[in-house]
Structure 1
Amino acid sequence: MSGFTMLPDLYFTGGRHDWSDARRLPREGLAQALVDSRNRTLAWLSAFGAARRGWIVPRQYDADPPLWTLGHLAWHAEWWCLRDVQWQERAGVLLPVPAAPALLDGADEWFDPERIGPDARWEVALPDVAALKHYAASVLDAVLRRIALLPDDGDDTLYPFRRALQHEDAQIERIAALLQALAMAPDDPALTRPPVSVPDAGTLQFPGGRFTQGWGEPDGFAMPDELPAQPTYVPAFEIDAAPVTNAQYLEFVDDGGYERPNWWSPAGRQWLMTQERSAPRYWERHAQTRAWMAQRFDTLRTLNPDEAVRHVTLYEAQAWCAWAGRRLPDEAEWEMAAVQNRGGFRWGMVREWTATPYEPYAGFADVPSHPGPGDSEMQARFGLCQAVRGACFVGPTRLRHARARLALAPEEDAAFVGFRTCAL
């Protein structure tokens, strides 16, 4: 179960290509991307082995169990792409009603995130690994066959399939974060290859001006929280050319940053009081040399000073900024810098905290939507989470887009998230 065979080319028009714009993939490109995404998922999940006992892992408060994740990814793709879900009014409430049953009996109760919460996912009794792999394979095969028979490459026609691809690609980062938390690694060492180092690259000056934030293109795929586009004005700003590095963050640590409350916000101090931290998550001192080490999946390595610092909370990023006399960029500044890319704005190594709370864009309620699983969870994050930008080295490059948004709780440090700063 390491991969899937593509459908013959005769099902599609045109030949194979390397499509550079993942948000405008036509049918054949989308089919290839879905296969690639599933292969990546299974490659990361290979760390848990073939027997069920390998998939039973210690409970993590900031992750989903691996067996549930495999079943959920299959269920999610099936719900969006195969079950012809219609919204019907019942007792004055609009409810999604699938026209077809799931390919696996019980899948709706087990894997619908609207029905089973994060805690229950660790308690539910699921089928064995082989059954869920078979379910995942069957769903993907059916999705590919459905794609082959689509009438056109229109955005509305392809939206469910693009949405399924985006979801599985994003879940790969969560699987990687779980392995990192468990000090485990997938069988393929290339998947955990460290990101490109970013030694201090200086700062960039942006004159600001009128800017359209969010997805404003007339075609292509966008997530609901990227809509509608927001005309805005951004004052001139100075921003780091690259994320803050381990070396830069270590200066804060060595200066007693975790022992001096004056650098921390009230919420940050409250968080720090509940932790036994003197450095970011996964950092530790070598017992003999006292050199700083970092747990990188299943290996303890000497801390690379030039890598982007990662696995830091919003509170830690804010404290470093206060110590350094800098600030986090707001969402519009980050997006303008990434879109305009003047002078070499370097990103894609880690997700990046911003100074902006995660909120819907103005007019969000008026956006035509394709409601489905995950949308209510997205909306539940509005006002409670912080907006995060950028892309992560463990995820597929398809996820790298300057308009993409992510929401994380301020105390989140399991994700591969770091930060860059702006001048005050």
Structure 2
Amino acid sequence: MPLDVPTAQNSTSVLETFARVRGDSEALARPLSPEDCMIQSMEAASPVKWHLAHTSWFFETFILGPHAKDHTPFHPEFGYLFNSYYNQIGEMHQRAKRGMLSRPSLDKVLAYRSFVNEALIRLIENADDETLAVIEPLVLLGCSHEQQHQELLITDLQHGLFQNALKPAVYTDARAGEGGNAPALKWREMEGGVCNIGWNGEGFAFDNEQPRHKVYLHPFELANRPVTNGEYIAFIEDGGYQDPVHWLSDAWEVINREHWDAPLYWRKSEADNQWYRYSLFGEVPIDPHAPVCHVSSYEAAAYASWVGARLPTEFEWEAAASLFPLEGRFLEGGAPFLPKSAENPANDDSLLQLYGDVWEWTASPYVAYPGFAAPPGAVGEYNGKFMSGQMVLKGGSCATPRGHLRVSYRNFFPPEARWQFSGFRLARDCN
């Protein structure tokens, strides 16, 4: 199992969690048209309709099929259509062609969700204690899996609608992105030494956050907040995208091949010489005080080089973040989907916006912790097989459900990925 939770769960609380998470997904899709829910803008993204169906497939495949007596699948082909990457389960529809699935209709997918909901609730309500001890951890895994897809639903939708010449707005509370002036950038010195890294054993965790282990950190300094849009604009205007000295070799090849000259969704207006970005509130002016967002690991590292700093390792980030409460702007904030500036700190030692607003790229490759072993069976394909060619991000974003995060949480994407709400903060070695 890729999780470890107390076995004495209360079935009522598990059902409440299940109902809330399932309802949250449908609430995110409610303002959308069926056409909105079908678009797929690139292979790495999936249609909203597919996310809604795949998360139901997960519950049906890993819980209802094995554990509900006489369960009959909702549709004989849905196991093929909505499998994502679980090779041990069987063949799957091509990822790049998910946007071709005009059928099943959105109504049919929502009916599938209702079918799965009713069957799973019935299973839990009628299960004995022995069965509950087996399926409740799987339900919590499925809920956390669905929360991951809630964020992907938002980021994939934004990337798809960005291709639309109308630059449509699908949510209405644009004020959620307003903020004040960013605090001055300051450095907090961290002593280093031997630190405990990974899941501390409380509540839910994925397998890739385990086992907890010790690492040695040299003394370092960490910036008190993420890099802002205004600071990143200075990098752009100084010719940062044209100077190869700051870019890794692979990065230089990517930015020239893809003609990158600014973060994703940005454009500079010739009419007023101002920067704008596309969001799910439509196109809005760039807030210079908000954290820069939708940048790749390559761009984050290049900016860090330009200012004479570096990105923190995931271990440095986690050691520092463990000193602060898990507070920030998350998905529950009422459809924010726009990062905003940090508030002025209560004291000079504060590290701001560690959680929420933007995921923070680290300098660490996504690899296994010492002693890691993928769980047996198909569910073991969840994380372990992706431990190659990816970089770790920490902290969550304004599109991440609050209850989904822990200081030990490890997100991961390829270094060129930038359609997520990804930003960064700086680190440097102590002299």
**Which TM-score applies when normalising by structure 1?**
0.83
Q: Which residue of 1 aligns with 2:200?
A: 216
Shift of 1:415: 0.7
Which segment drifts farther, 171-180 or 141-150? 141-150
User: 2:32–2:170: 8 Å Cα contact kept in structure 1?
Assistant: no
Q: Which residue of 2 aligns with 1:260?
A: 243
- Quick one: distance in 1 between partners of 2:205 and 2:360? 20
Mapping of residues 273-352 of structure 1, within 5 Å:
273-341=256-324, 343-345=349-351, 346-347=353-354, 348-352=356-360
User: 1:43–1:186: 8 Å Cα contact kept in structure 2?
Assistant: no
Residue 421 of structure 2 is aligned to residue 416 of structure 1: yes
Equivalent position SS for 1:193:
helix
- Quick one: distance in 2 between partners of 1:120 and 1:207? 50
- Quick one: distance in 1 between partners of 2:207 and 2:54? 21
User: 1:71–1:136: 8 Å Cα contact kept in structure 2?
Assistant: yes
Distance 1:157 1:106, change over 3 A: closer
- Quick one: distance in 1 between partners of 2:228 and 2:95? 33
Match of residue 105, structure 1, among 56, 76, 83: 76
User: 1:200–1:245: 8 Å Cα contact kept in structure 2?
Assistant: no
Equivalent position SS for 2:322:
helix
Aligned letter for 2:286? L
Q: Which residue of 2 aligns with 1:36?
A: 20
User: 1:390–1:400: 8 Å Cα contact kept in structure 2?
Assistant: yes
User: 2:276–2:283: 8 Å Cα contact kept in structure 1?
Assistant: yes
Which segment drifts farther, 308-317 or 336-345? 336-345
User: 2:321–2:407: 8 Å Cα contact kept in structure 1?
Assistant: yes
Mapping of residues 12-411 of structure 1, within 5 Å:
26-49=10-33, 52-57=34-39, 59-84=41-66, 100-113=71-84, 114=86, 115-116=91-92, 117-124=94-101, 126-151=103-128, 157-181=135-159, 182-183=161-162, 188-190=171-173, 193-194=176-177, 199-217=183-201, 220-341=203-324, 343-345=349-351, 346-347=353-354, 348-365=356-373, 369=375, 371-373=377-379, 375-376=380-381, 378-411=383-416
Distance 1:356 1:54, change over 3 A: closer
Shift of 1:273: 1.1
- Quick one: distance in 1 between partners of 2:187 and 2:168? 35
Shift of 1:43: 2.2
Aligned letter for 2:350? G
Shift of 1:301: 1.1
Paired residues in the alignment total 386
Equivalent position SS for 1:70:
helix
Shift of 1:166: 0.5
Q: Which residue of 1 aligns with 2:339?
A: none
- Quick one: distance in 2 between partners of 1:99 and 1:80? 15
Aligned letter for 1:301? V
Shift of 1:111: 0.9
Shift of 1:204: 1.8
Shift of 1:271: 0.8
Shift of 1:78: 1.8
> Over residues 197-241 of structure 1, what are the superposed CA-to-partner deviations in whole Å (9 max), with x where a residue is unaligned?
754452222212221111132x53210111111122222211112
- Quick one: distance in 2 between partners of 1:376 and 1:279? 35
Shift of 1:252: 0.7
Shift of 1:384: 1.3
Aligned letter for 1:357? P
Distance 1:193 1:179, change over 3 A: farther
Equivalent position SS for 1:344:
coil
Equivalent position SS for 1:388:
strand
Unaligned ranges ≥5, structure 1: 1-21, 87-97
RMSD: 2.8
Equivalent position SS for 2:277:
strand
Shift of 1:156: 5.4
> Over residues 128-156 of structure 1, what are the superposed CA-to-partner deviations in whole Å (9 max), with x where a residue is unaligned?
11111011012122223333345559875
Name which structure has the greater RCO, CA cutoff 8 Å, separation 6+.
Answer: 2
Equivalent position SS for 1:410:
coil
> Over residues 272-307 of structure 1, what are the superposed CA-to-partner deviations in whole Å (9 max), with x where a residue is unaligned?
111222211111112311111111124111111111
- Quick one: distance in 2 between partners of 1:392 and 1:407? 13
Distance 1:136 1:60, change over 3 A: same
Query: Moved runs in structure 1, 4+ residues, more than 6 A?
Result: 22-25
Equivalent position SS for 1:277:
coil
Aligned letter for 2:120? V
> Over residues 292-349 of structure 1, what are the superposed CA-to-partner deviations in whole Å (9 max), with x where a residue is unaligned?
1111124111111111111001110010000011111111111111112294333221
- Quick one: distance in 1 between partners of 2:28 and 2:323? 34
Which segment drifts farther, 285-294 or 23-32? 23-32
- Quick one: distance in 2 between partners of 1:420 and 1:352? 7
- Quick one: distance in 2 between partners of 1:222 and 1:320? 33
Shift of 1:411: 0.7
User: 1:55–1:66: 8 Å Cα contact kept in structure 2?
Assistant: yes
Distance 1:308 1:224, change over 3 A: same
- Quick one: distance in 1 between partners of 2:390 and 2:174? 29
